[in-house]
Amino acid sequence: MKKYGTFCFLFLSLLNAFAQQPDTLAAKSNQILQQPIVVIGKDTSSKVAIPDTAKLMMRDTTKPHATTAANATGVQNGNTSKIARAVGTVSQTQPVEFSLEIPGGVLFGKFEKESGPFLIKGSIIVPAGQVLEFGPGCKVYVSGDYTTITVFGQILVKGTREEPVIFQSAKQRPNPWDWDRIYIRSRNRSSFEHCIIRHSNYGVMVENGSVMMNYCQLDHNSLHALVVRNSDALIMNTAFQGGQVVSILCEAGGDVQADSLMINGNITGVAVGDKGSFHLRGGDISNNATGIVAMQGSSVSVVAADITKNRIGLVSQQPVPKKMSEMNYGNGLDVKIAGGAEIEKMLKPPESVKSVSLPKTSSAIRIKDDFAPGFSAMRAPREATTSFIGNVTTGLQYFSPKSGIDTLKQNHYPGEDNPAIGRVDNIQPEMQVFASGKKGDADINLMLDVYGNDWAGFRRNNTNLTMNYSDQSFVIGDFYENNSETSISGRKLTGLKYDGNFWEMGRGTKRVSVKAAFGQSELPKRVGEHELDMYNSYVDSGMSVRQQMTYEAALTFKPTFYSSISARGLIARDQANNTFIGSEAVDDPKAPNLLQAQTGCIDGKVDFLNGKMSINAELDMGRVDTLVDTMAVFSDKISKIAWYDPQVPDAISKVFGVMSTVKNYAFTLSCNGIFDGYKLALSGSQIAPSYFAAGNPYLELDRRGLTFTGEKEYSEQLAASVAAEFQRRTISTNPVDNTTLRCASKYAFGKNLPEVNGDYMFYYETNQERQSVSQQILIDSTSSSVRDTSYDSVYQIRDYKNQIGLELKQQLANDMDYSLKYQLLLETDNTNYINEADKNKRSGIQHQISARYGFKVGKSVRNRTTIRFTSKDEVQDSLKGFAYKIGDELKLSLIPRKLTWSLKGEYSNKLDKKVVATSDASGNTVVEHQSLKTIMTSFETEVKYSLTSKWSLTARGRYENSQDDTPGSRENYIAKIFGFYCTYLF
């Protein structure tokens, strides 16, 4: 037997020499177990200290009447083995001292980590009716010649992700044949969870029995890792690797139900004999000499798994279905049809157990009633081929707003006097529609959110019709385009878009992707309009804020699975009077003349180490033309046009002809990857001063930056991240340098226990500014005549910010949760101002405390309360400003699945001050603080009643009272809003 094992090991060593990156295979299995592989120590034994408590019975079968007492919870000696990666034969790193030696004989009871490590010195038997259990962190070393663990009762291995149970050789230099197997012969199901088994002949063999494995790893066993004969086995999330001759052997009567397996680096991955049944859903069978071997009378089904990168993907006695080819790809030979004699040689049935005399059995082979020999395969679970679902909601809202005294008319809601129509317009009909239909490879989705206004116009919030067929889609209406900051970013367009993917590469990946889109941009705000989401802030645009027609075309090509290159062209053109869909164009006096921009973009990506590392690069070239200035003779035509004027050849030449002597480029290079559990990313970019992005006209130019991020989840309890960024920007002619460092971490004490989150940010900004300095120079001391002079003086600005946050939160078992968070922001102005009075003017400190509390009472009551308080003290801009906000959300299920009522309320108060420079009667500049006070009170309620499973009625009401004493504010108003809606589901 040892000679045969030695031959297999030498053959395996040659095979590993040609295998692809065994470290990668080990890393894949570690992703399943989320644990490193432990390299064992020297085969030496220490004295065993056995207390007199918690005894278990061990009977030496060589002396039938000799009985010894041992403790299953002995004292661990404290020595641990080093962590390393096991590839091939594992060498000694550190001697192991065994706390408990177990001689051959009868063994049962419960073993804990604190009693180990354990040394099994001879074959043991778990008798019928008894249980042998190993708890988390147990390390079991096996010595002796052909040692077998035979289970007639039940073996329960209960490891955890952090502390798996390990069975391995006790030799100083272990080999893949140092002990025999764990042999299970009992219908009482044995189980292995978070377990590692290595250095045996057959790993686990179950005959006339039952076994379950979950999150296990079986590696470096010589002949087999798992043998199932006349038994059932449930195997989930488990890795088989390290050169077994056959990783999983399913013999006659064996029924293996498997989910998410990783079978890599073996001679044969899975072998299924006559009347054997193997069903796999999800997983990876790769880098083996042979992926799957199946005899004529076997039953094999595979769903959504990959069989790839093997020398032979599938060996069978019969033809296989075409669908198997979707998962069986990229092998040296995907399918081989072989004879029965050849396949029998590959099955390698195990030898009988030699260490104990087993009772002879004549039990017949048991197979399930629905056993059906042959192959079946699916790429993914099947879906219904035809469906049509959706809903329609229609109703109306009534608005009753009233602006305060000394304020602009608020523009949050309609309903005040409208001089254009000479009446109050405060009723707005609304309708929302969603519909989705599917038939075969085609599906259509429709979304409408429209309303009426002024009783004459038809408005829309969102309209979208998407039609998909196979790998192509066509969109009509509103859609967002987002590729990168420098090409096109967050651009909402109304128009048409086409996406197509062609030429299958395998794994569902297409080699070529094509995109073409055009549409009108969303309506921008006018200069001076109030920002709804920001207190006391107004739009101050300096670029093109008109609506634009944007055109995009992109082509992506994948030379390999791990690389891609894209070419993208963009054109944007301002609209003046006659817009594409009839919306009113914005007349912005601060905007420049009509603009036309072209941008060309090339980007590429390459993945390394099976996707663990990737490099991305992007180069953009873009510029802008002022249409009215350069084409004044066509100004009348330009002011009305909505479409791009040149023909297609001219458009292409403009996009890719933007190379010029001026600096009109943008470049980005980034690298990210996963190394030993750390997620790392490094990115650098530069945007030249003359660059213009047709897909992002508000892009800040003339800047360069470097960013690094890293994060790691050490366990379910502990995670940390760090990010560093340097950026140089040019505002006017002065360079501004920004350096930012961010750190964050979390620690969770466990399920339903508190979690602590901490974060820190350091920000440093420096730049140069000029200040005009006036002085008087004495010309004649006799007459005391002087001369006034002035000059520009340069000084260095240095601003620091330190922000610290600390949060405590917890999700309790009784459906309650809470969060407490404190945040400190410290701003330091370390600028050497020329005027001493300006010193430290931008310094300040801000404190913010926020709390959240929520609870549920079954499915009947849900409530969430939030409180936030902010105070700040700035040297120049504020004198102890503060703000606080209190909110509550309550939802009641008055009649389950029939009648619900929700209530929301919010109260916020913000008191701030800003520096305002005015002139007095003498023309002198006077600096004073102007109060900025905003108080918002709001309540909202909703009642929903379901008439049937398809029909429901909804009533809503909202009250807002906003008080803002800032002159000319739009935040000073009272509004009452009511709505009623009807919804139909189909």
Report the C-alpha gap between 201 and 791 in whole angstroms: 90
E strands in 208-332: 210-214, 217-219, 224-229, 232-236, 239-241, 246-250, 255-264, 268-272, 277-286, 290-294, 299-308, 312-316
Burial class (CB in 10 A: 0-12, 13-18, 19+), 763: middle
| Cβ neighbours, 10 Å, residue 129 | 11
Percent of the chain at pLDDT > 90 equals 37
Q: Give the closest residue to 346 by CA, choosing from 338, 357, 334.
A: 338
- Torsional class of 615: left (φ above 0), alpha (ψ -120 to 50), beta (otherwise): beta
Beta-bridge mates of residue 310? none
Beta-bridge mates of residue 201? none
pLDDT for 370: 76
Which one-letter DSSP state was computed for residue 547? -
Report the C-alpha gap between 146 and 355 in whole angstroms: 7
Which one-letter DSSP state was computed for residue 529? P
Q: Give the closest residue to 62 by CA, choosing from 121, 134, 133, 150.
A: 121
Q: What is the pTM for the complete model shown? A: 0.59
pLDDT for 39: 26
pLDDT for 913: 72
pLDDT at 77 over 50: no
Q: Are the beta carbons of 278 and 252 closer than 8 angstroms?
A: no
The SS3 call for residue 6 is: helix
Read off the pLDDT of each residue in 950-960 and give the average, rounded to a whole number. Answer: 94
Report the C-alpha gap between 835 and 848 in whole angstroms: 33
pLDDT for 83: 24
pLDDT at 154 over 50: yes
Unique residue bearing structure tokens 């090991």: 9
Which one-letter DSSP state was computed for residue 196? E
Report the C-alpha gap between 944 and 928 in whole angstroms: 52
Report the C-alpha gap between 843 and 487 in whole angstroms: 37
pLDDT for 234: 95
Mean pLDDT of the chain: 78
Sequence-distant (6+) residues with CB within 8 A of 715 are 162
Residue 628 pLDDT grade (very low, low, confident, very high; cuts 50, 70, 90): low
Q: Are the beta carbons of 454 and 415 closer than 8 angstroms?
A: no
Sequence-distant (6+) residues with CB within 8 A of 974 are 401, 402, 404, 960, 961, 962
pLDDT for 74: 30
Q: Are the beta carbons of 690 and 662 closer than 8 angstroms?
A: yes
Report the C-alpha gap between 600 and 620 in whole angstroms: 6
| Cβ neighbours, 10 Å, residue 477 | 19
Residue 141 pLDDT grade (very low, low, confident, very high; cuts 50, 70, 90): very high
Read off the pLDDT of each residue in 517-534 and give the average, rounded to a whole number. Answer: 62
Within the chain, what is the greatest distance between any pair of CA atoms? 133
Q: Give the closest residue to 271 by CA, choosing from 251, 296, 286, 257.
A: 251
Q: Are the beta carbons of 738 and 700 closer than 8 angstroms?
A: no
pLDDT for 940: 95
Angle at CA of residue 892, ends 755 and 813, nearest 5°: 25
Quick: pLDDT tens for 361-379. Answer: 556 787 877 787 888 887 7
Q: Give the closest residue to 666 by CA, choosing from 639, 638, 694, 641.
A: 694
pLDDT at 91 over 50: no
Residue 706 pLDDT grade (very low, low, confident, very high; cuts 50, 70, 90): very high
Report the C-alpha gap between 312 and 314 in whole angstroms: 6
Handedness of CA 585, 591, 596, 599 (dihedral sign): negative
Read off the pLDDT of each residue in 43-69 and give the average, rounded to a whole number. Answer: 32
Report the C-alpha gap between 664 and 620 in whole angstroms: 8
Report the C-alpha gap between 483 and 488 in whole angstroms: 5
Report the C-alpha gap between 587 and 578 in whole angstroms: 13
Q: Are the beta carbons of 327 and 307 closer than 8 angstroms?
A: yes
Burial class (CB in 10 A: 0-12, 13-18, 19+), 341: exposed
Residue 11 pLDDT grade (very low, low, confident, very high; cuts 50, 70, 90): very low
Q: Are the beta carbons of 818 and 853 closer than 8 angstroms?
A: yes
pLDDT at 354 over 90: no
Terminal Cα distance for the chain, rounded: 69
Count the residues in the chain: 986
For 452-475, the three-class secondary structure string (H helix, E strand, C coil) is: EECCCEEEEEEEEEEEEECCEEEE
